[in-house]
Structure 1
Amino acid sequence: MNFFELKADKFTSDDHHKSILGSNDLKFCLEIVVEISDFIKTSLGPKSGDKLIVDENGNILVTNDGYSIIKYLSKSSKYDDIDDNDEDNNIINIKDSNNNNSDNLNTNYNNNNNNGRNNNFSKSSPIDRKRFQTIVELLIDCCRTQERLYGDGTTSVLVLVGSFCSSALKLIFEKGIPPHIVSNGFQYSLKHALKLLNNNYYLNVNINNDDDDNNSNNNNNNNNNNNNNNNNNNNNNNNNNNNNNNNNNNNNNNNNNNNNNNNNNNNNNNNNNNNNNNNNNNNNNNNNNNNNNNNNNNNNNNKEKFEISLEKVTESSLLSKSISFYKEKLSKLSIESVKLIHSYYKRVELKRIKIMTVQGSSLEDCRLIKGCLIKRFFSHENMPKTIFNASIIVLSCPLEFPKPKTNFNISINSINELNRFIEIKSNYFQSIKDKIKTIKGLKCIVCQWGIDQEINEFLYQLGISAISWVAGDDLERISISSGANIINDLDNIDNNSDDNNSEFIGYVKEIKELVMGNDSSSRYIEFSDCKNSSTATILVRGGSKEMCDETAQCLRDSIHIVGGCLKDPRIVPSGGATELYLFNQFKYFKPSSLSSSIATTTTTMMIAIKSWSESLLTIPITLLENGGYDCQHYIIKLIQLHHCADSGSDDFRYYGVDINNSNKEFDLYKYDDDDKSSTNHYDGNQNIIQDMKFKSWELLNLKKSILKLATETT
């Protein structure tokens, strides 16, 4: 008997039926989440399987991204064609059966659920279909939030949600714990987990590791030091000549004192150097030795802080993708694009980075454009295809004779009327030509609308290139990157301007027309090295449309990771290490340590808290299962390692599962708590159990967001 059956005698007959129906609704919803999670968890990790999805239009998508998968799952379960009258009739029938017998209620309800699942949510079970769709929409909203904030971790969110719901099923329907106590226990567990992650578990990323900048700074420092040393040498010679009459013993004592003082004041100015050149050389040698020793100590104590670079973190986010063999190139493109935008805006503006996919060629031809790329061509075939140091204007008004939006007819009954019509049209075009002539040095015009053929001929004769029918988004990006204000009306151009209408003129170092592949109809125009480094475009090439789309999705994820590192460079190891650490720490969880208001936590609350921590193990278990390993054997070993970290024998807090190391032959070393010898370690070159702080990482805020969304969704 569950909790609801034990308390059934306290309700009236109607309340009794409603409570059982409500409990069955809760159970049905939790089971649906568990089923969806079991379907998606096979796409978690580097050895996971991709899903091949075919939509209603025949388009193919190959991905392991949880958000993309569940979006298509929602499309395949629409219930728009459900008749409301049928739904009402079904509800009435269920209520009638409830009034007859409560036992028949459970049987009929379960039969309806089973029929609905077997018939793939057909019209015979509209209530089940609506419930299923509601659950899917809830999970989609959860993944959408994660995707919008961090661009990654959607699959992990869905896996954890399924694990938490599975634990809730056991707590509510097997152990009889009320749902509100389970919910409170999960919330308290989340607060304690976030507190543990914020305290002393995270690592730091070195985001300022530009070699060129460091080399230039070192050269400048060396030059300054040389000048200071020369000046000091001259002063030292004078001092030595003045002190020749002093005793040798006193000189030696002074030299020793100077040496000690200099060793203690390594960071002082160069003016405090010793008087003797020999002593200076000795001090420099001593300082170098001291610096080397200090560096070695720092590397040993805080190795993770100095070895974890932004490139490694970005590459680790691509390990589980199908294009992981190009992770070095793609991570480099992501870092360069984000840093380019960050250097201009002094903040992360990911919307200024555009990813364009062009089918053909290979992934090796992917590149970063410091500007814009649009799928257009020059409006005149004889216009130059490449322009250097171009002055451009951006128009959102047409360069053609205005046309009414409605159908119209012009009646011309004489030659004079025809000449009058031609004169009006020529005068209009002449006014456009006069406006363009006033802008000196103009080389290119970018127009959102059409350009008349007469204007095209005029521009070609002046040596001005033109691009027509540019999309509004591309027009805005060109305006921002080139520094040209968008002209809404040609009347805004002043014919007598003293500054040549400079506020409307932008500058681009190079504009060129590109033909991608062998298809001459697929032409693009590239605006590179613009005046303002405020926009960036990543050109993605691939052998197929599916490969290009998957690469673009992976680039979006890595760009979000780079942006997150620049905002907050704190990371945690992946591979299930963080979940194992939290699970181990919850063994010592005391409610009084969280807040005084929870000091009187009941036993049922503690059961819910323990169940939440056990649910975290689904991440390393899923990684091992997808890799084809005995998850029970390895999980036991990992739990033992994390337990040894608490005993102080060694720091095993960051140990997790490295599936990428599975191609090497392994033999797990049995770790005994009684044996504390120095040789009792895992060989990192032979095991899939690795110290993940040197292998792969994910953002601390991303991990916290995964835990928050999974817990709150449950």
Structure 2
Amino acid sequence: MNVAVDEFGKPFVILRQQEKKRLTGLDAHKANIMAAKAIASTLKTSLGPRGMDKIIVSPDGKVTVTNDGATILQKIEVEHQCAKLLVDLSKSQDEEIGDGTTGVVILAGALLERALRLLDKGLHPLRIADGYETACDIAIKRLEEIANEQDESYSAEKNGEIYKKAAYTALGSKVVSSCQDHLADIAVNAVMAVQDKERRDVNLELIKIEAVTGGRLEDTCLVEGIVLTKEFSHSQMAKTVTDARIAILSCPFEPPKSKTKSRIEISTVEDYEKLQECEKNYFENMVQRVVDSKANVVICQWGFDDEANHLLMKKGISAVRWVGGAELELVAIATGGKIVGRFEDLDESKLGRAEVVREVATGTEHQEFIFIEKCKKTKSVTVLISGGNGVYVEETKRCIHDAICCVRNLVRDSRVLGGGGAPEIAASLAIEAAAVKLNALEQFAVQAFGEALLEIPMALADNSGLNVFDMVAKAAQMQQTNCHVGIDCLRGTVGDLRKHGIFESLHSKIQQLSLATQVVKMILKIDDVICPTEIQ
């Protein structure tokens, strides 16, 4: 294996076997593992509160600055088939949990690195896979024991402050850490506003995240309602409507179009005037139906003809056009209204209700937004993010999403663990104790899994500029009496990070272990890489 750099200075791995079109047996195992390890090593420096960010430049020149594992892997180009499995692994963690996308890839890379050593010693890949499965079960069981043994004050269900502390932890490694207390409050309040207490779940589609370029991060706020990136369709329409009665339309303010290939021939001025009069009557009829329904705000999925727009303005009705289907549904949910597909069906019972609908121009670019606030059913909320530039705002959106997902996980399962790599160290010690009771061959793979778990606290210490082995050894020694001791990256020491409000969701940790183990087992069972050109 050699390491080279491309014309942009980006390092990449060259495998000796890559000249061959087909790899089989141990060569295939090694090539697959090396490719996956290269992906994991890319993310290792991004882990933890002292982790570094990456700049990713797309082919069209768009710049992304982030330390979110899923975003990094999503935006880089990966060609190797097994390396793509780690990209999918991070994506699965992001979709299911929302947080821990970097840690799960680092863990998978560490497991593959240990597997490569065992393969060189002659251990069969299936033996390694079975040993990893056994060790994963031991680790999950140990983490559940730790979570269940804690005092009730460490349960989010009993202590609501845990929600904020978990969100605070999720934001600690992000570029927004200087404002993490304020953003943690927003994340918790957003989830609490839309949670389903009976099902113990949260529909994240009910939480809308909008961004405005300009202003300070501290100006980020939670709107109890919907924010649309739109403006009223006519400059003379009222910019603020109180006691809003909202007609939500999925039909256009336009004359009907023929469904067949036909045309209208106009040969005289009188014919043209008749057509114009017919269209005007049609628009007046549509607008009159809106007036009869007692609506004073119209939100439409499609466009308006200029004539209809003028008539709405004359009737004192404020209107918004070209609203997306997903946003239209959120407006209906929040206001308690019904989406109307035909003007004939519009009546007062279909209208949504909100105390205030207003148009606001904000940010350095004076971007217009429509605020629909204090709705009849506040079951939809919007996080409005402010930031200095577009790149910063986009990263803030990802940070808020991670924090919201972290709180959502605690709504599903209120059990938490201490942060700083404490769960991984505790699980590693449990695996080490259990391994001595197993047969010799299985023991190797189980012990390797325990060693791989220590990569997480080691990466945390390394990224914080601490002595890696000294910190991890101290933490492991102190865990003999307190299983919550981890690496305190901010203070450069070891200790029980629960005292400093650093928490992680048990559900997230279990998911990381399970997903990483499944992907590693899949890679270990691949012994042949066949190119399509070889199949004749």
Q: In the alignment, which residue of structure 1 is the partner of 2:443?
A: 606
RCO higher in structure (CA 8 A, sep ≥6): 2
Residue deviations 1:41-88, cap 9 Å, x none?
Answer: 011111111111111011111111111111222x2x45xxxxxxxxxx
User: Counterpart of 1:606 in structure 2: which amino acid?
Assistant: Q
Q: After TM superposition, list the pairs within 5 Å mapping 1:568-583 onto structure 2.
A: 568-583=413-428
Please state whether the residue corresponding to 2:24 is helix, strand or coil.
helix
Displacement, 1:206? 4.7
Q: SS in structure 1 opposite 2:102? A: helix
Q: Which amino acid aligns with 1:148?
A: E
When residues 344 and 473 of structure 1 are mapped into structure 2, their CA distance, relative to the original with a 3 A threshold, is farther
Please give the residue correspondences for 1:235-634 in structure 2 after superposition, counting only pairs within 5 Å. Answer: 309-342=162-195, 347-403=201-257, 410-440=264-294, 442-493=295-346, 501-520=347-366, 522-589=367-434, 601-634=438-471
Change in 2 beyond 3 A, CA 1:545/1:615: same
Q: Which amino acid aligns with 2:466?
A: Y
The reply to whether residue 35 of structure 1 matches residue 77 of structure 2 is no
Deviations 1:365-410 (A, max 9, x none): 1001111111211122111101111111111111122345899764
C-alpha change, 1:418 and 1:583, in structure 2 (3 Å) is: closer
User: Residues 348 and 178 from structure 1, CA distance in 2 versus in 1: closer, same or farther, beyond 3 angstroms?
Assistant: same
1:475, 1:307 → 2: CA distance?
33
Distance in 2, Cα, partners of 1:201 & 1:479: 40
Does 2:19 match 1:165? no
Distance 1:20 1:465 in 2: 66
Give the Cα–Cα distance (whole angstroms) in 1 for the partners of residues 471 and 279 of structure 2: 82
Q: What is the SS of the residue equivalent to 1:309? A: helix
5 Å-filtered alignment, 1:68-83, equals 68-73=71-76, 75=77, 77=78
Q: How far off is 1:168 after superposition?
A: 0.4
Q: Are 2:147 and 2:415, in contact at CA under 8 Å, matched by a contact in 1?
A: no
Distance in 2, Cα, partners of 1:588 & 1:387: 68
Instruction: Describe the SS at the equivalent of 2:64.
Output: strand
How far apart in 1 are the matches of 2:288 and 2:161? 60
CA distance in structure 1 between the aligned counterparts of 2:61 and 2:219, rounded to whole angstroms: 28
Q: Which has the larger radius of gyration?
A: 1
Deviations 1:463-483 (A, max 9, x none): 211112222222111111111
State the 1:635 CA deviation. Answer: 2.2
Give the SS at the match of 1:541: strand
- Residue in structure 2 matched with residue 265 of structure 1 by the alignment: none
For 1:19 and 1:357, locate their aligned partners in 2 and report how far apart those are by CA, in whole Å.
48
Instruction: Give the conservation status (yes or no) of the 8 Å contact 2:226–2:382.
Output: yes
Q: Which amino acid aligns with 1:63?
A: T
Tell me, yes or no, if the aligned pair for 2:133 and 2:517 is still in contact at 8 Å: yes
Secondary structure in structure 2 of the residue aligned to 1:586: helix
Shift of 1:570: 0.3
Q: What TM-score does the superposition give when structure 1 sets the normalisation length?
A: 0.66
Q: Say if 2:149 is the partner of 1:146.
A: no
Mapped partners of 2:169, 2:391: distance in 1: 22
Aligned AA (1:698): E
* Superposition CA RMSD, Å: 2.4
Equivalent position SS for 1:338: helix
**Partner residue, 1:188:** 134
- In structure 2, do the counterparts of structure 1 residues 526 and 605 end up closer, same or farther at CA, with 3 Å as the change threshold? same
Q: Which amino acid aligns with 1:515?
A: A
SS at match of 1:512: strand
Structure 1 residue 583 displacement after superposition: 1.9
Is 1:656 aligned to 2:486, yes or no?
Answer: yes
Conserved 8 A contact 2:103-2:512: yes
Larger strand proportion of the pair? 2
Number of paired residues?
A: 496
Unaligned regions of 5+ residues in structure 1, if any?
1-16, 79-131, 210-305, 494-500, 593-600, 646-650, 663-687
Distance in structure 1 (CA, Å) of the matches to 2:361 and 2:263: 41
Distance in 2 between residues matched to 1:604 and 1:449, nearest whole Å: 67
Which of 626, 632, 639 is 2:476 aligned to? 639
Point out where structure 2 has 5 or more consecutive residues left out of the alignment: 1-19, 521-536
Higher share of residues assigned helix:
1
Query: Are the equivalent residues in 1 in contact too, given 2:69–2:101 (CA < 8 A)?
Result: yes
SS at match of 1:317: helix
Using structure 2 for the length normalisation, give the TM-score: 0.87
> What's the counterpart of residue 692 of structure 1?
497
Q: Which residue of 2 aligns with 1:107?
A: none
